[in-house]
Amino acid sequence: MKRVIGFAAVALALSCGSVQAQWSDGVIKIGVMNDMSGTYADLSGPGSVLAARMAVEDFGAEKKGMKVEILGADHQNKPDVGSNVVRTWIDVDKVDVIVDVPTSSVALAVNEIVREKNKVFLISGAAASNLTGDKCSPNTVHWTYDTWSLANGTGNAIVKTGGKNWFFLTADYAFGHALERDTAAVVEKNGGKVVGKVRHPFPGTDFSSFLLQAQASKAQIIGLANAGSDTINSIKQASEFGIVKGGQNLAALLAFITDVHALGLPTAQGLIMTEAWYWDLNDNNREFAKKFAPQNKGVHPTMVHAGVYSAVMHYLKALEALKSDADGKAVVEKMKSIPTEDKLFGKGEIRADGRHIHPMYLFEVKKPAESKGAWDYYKLRATIPANEAFRPLKDGGCPLVKS
């Protein structure tokens, strides 16, 4: 069952016909593919389509004579479904750029198709750092965050405050494995030890059995290398089984503000997490959230949504400079050659391996008394400067990087 949702296309009418010729088939088609209905739907989902649309509007594509159309589709977190959608999009619908694609297993599959078809792939939702490492592609830009940056942020902070013995609760697919691997490396580099791990099927519902195994390991820190409702249920059930009261601590290695919202502050308070973007960090972000939330059922933008906005904005800038969207590799090269700048991610750059570089932030979830209401959830603990936030270029093993 392939559910391709034909989202209301944002057809921005073209005033001047003669400019049209520079775009392949006369229109720039952006395909936003993610989990529209499952466990990752709130943190990406329809909100990412909205973010892409806002980027196109704010860029002023219409005034600049660029006709842009946005499509949305549900990959159901399945690589085969995602691959089929992307092939149809590129071959039949003439889509020029694929955006978002959370769920690393799907993103890795799409990465290869986009490279083969020479289109552009802008990743916001997926996490596996392999996408700019051994699997890097001249057609791919990895925008928002990755497993290395999460491990570097949260893992570092916890090991340095004394959490030396770790047990991993890992989602059994590409993303979980990558996050576990990158975090274990950080832990061991800082003199910590991994005492055990268990890999749970994705998506899961009941984590009590795995949590009990984590408890028996006597590790100080239980690292949750999962995401979305898996993380929510793990944290909830850990509190039920008295794991934190028993002296062990949880590290949510990837958590989004929508997860904190679903957990509620009484359960989530005190969690430490690394994010690339938070809506209440500055005026620009607040203004974006104020515009975004009412159109997204009140759900505030996550870093994935912000990343989609920012990535699409930069893509359009590159097209404007290049005056063509036909050659995906050339477009990505252009994106790498101009510095990035927009209101949500500020100034940054895209490295040769496709990694977008910007600061990351270490947040702590507020206590219920500190919060002014729904969505006021984070306290900033530390800012990780852009040059330290991501894996050094030489360590990734990306063949595009010439040594």
Which one of 9, 185, 212, 330 is in contact with other proteins (CB under 8 A)?
A: 212
Report 215-244 residues binding other proteins (CB under 8 A): 215-216, 228-229, 232-233, 236-237, 240-242
Which one of 105, 144, 152, 258 is in contact with other proteins (CB under 8 A)?
A: 258
Structural tokens at position 327: 């050659």
Q: How many CB atoms lie within 10 A of CB 215?
A: 17
282 vs 257: CA distance, rounded Å: 16
Q: Between 139 and 267, whose beta carbon lies closer to other proteins?
A: 267
Q: Between 42 and 146, whose beta carbon lies closer to other proteins?
A: 42
Task: State the binding string over 14-53 for other proteins (x if CB under 8 A, else -).
Answer: -----------------------xxxxxxx-x--------
Report 298-317 residues binding other proteins (CB under 8 A): 299
Alpha carbon separation from 189 to 127, 153, 182, 186, 300 (Å, rounded): 21, 14, 11, 5, 36
Q: Between 142 and 197, whose beta carbon lies closer to other proteins?
A: 197
CB of 108 within 8 A of CB of 130? yes
Q: How far is the CB of 176 from other proteins (least distance, A)?
A: 11
Report 163-202 residues binding other proteins (CB under 8 A): 172, 198-201
264 binds other proteins (CB under 8 A): yes
203 binds other proteins (CB under 8 A): yes
Question: What stretches of 94-248 show up as alpha helix (H) in DSSP?
Answer: 104-117, 147-150, 156-160, 174-189, 208-216, 229-240
153 vs 148: CA distance, rounded Å: 9
Look at phi and psi of residue 206 and say left if phi exceeds 0, alpha if psi is from -120 to 50, else beta. Answer: beta
Count residues near other proteins (CB under 8 A): 44
> Residues 6 or more apart from 209 whose CB is under 8 A from it?
none
Which one of 263, 303, 308, 319 is in contact with other proteins (CB under 8 A)?
A: 263
294 binds other proteins (CB under 8 A): no
Q: How far is the CB of 307 from other proteins (least distance, A)?
A: 18
In sequence order, what DSSP letters do the residues of 263-310 get, joined into one string?
H-HHHHTT-EEEES--TTSSHHHHHHHHHHGGGGTTPPP-HHHHHHHH
Residues within the interface to other proteins (CB under 8 A)? 37-43, 45, 172, 198-201, 203-206, 208-210, 212-213, 215-216, 228-229, 232-233, 236-237, 240-242, 246, 258-259, 261-264, 266-267, 297, 299
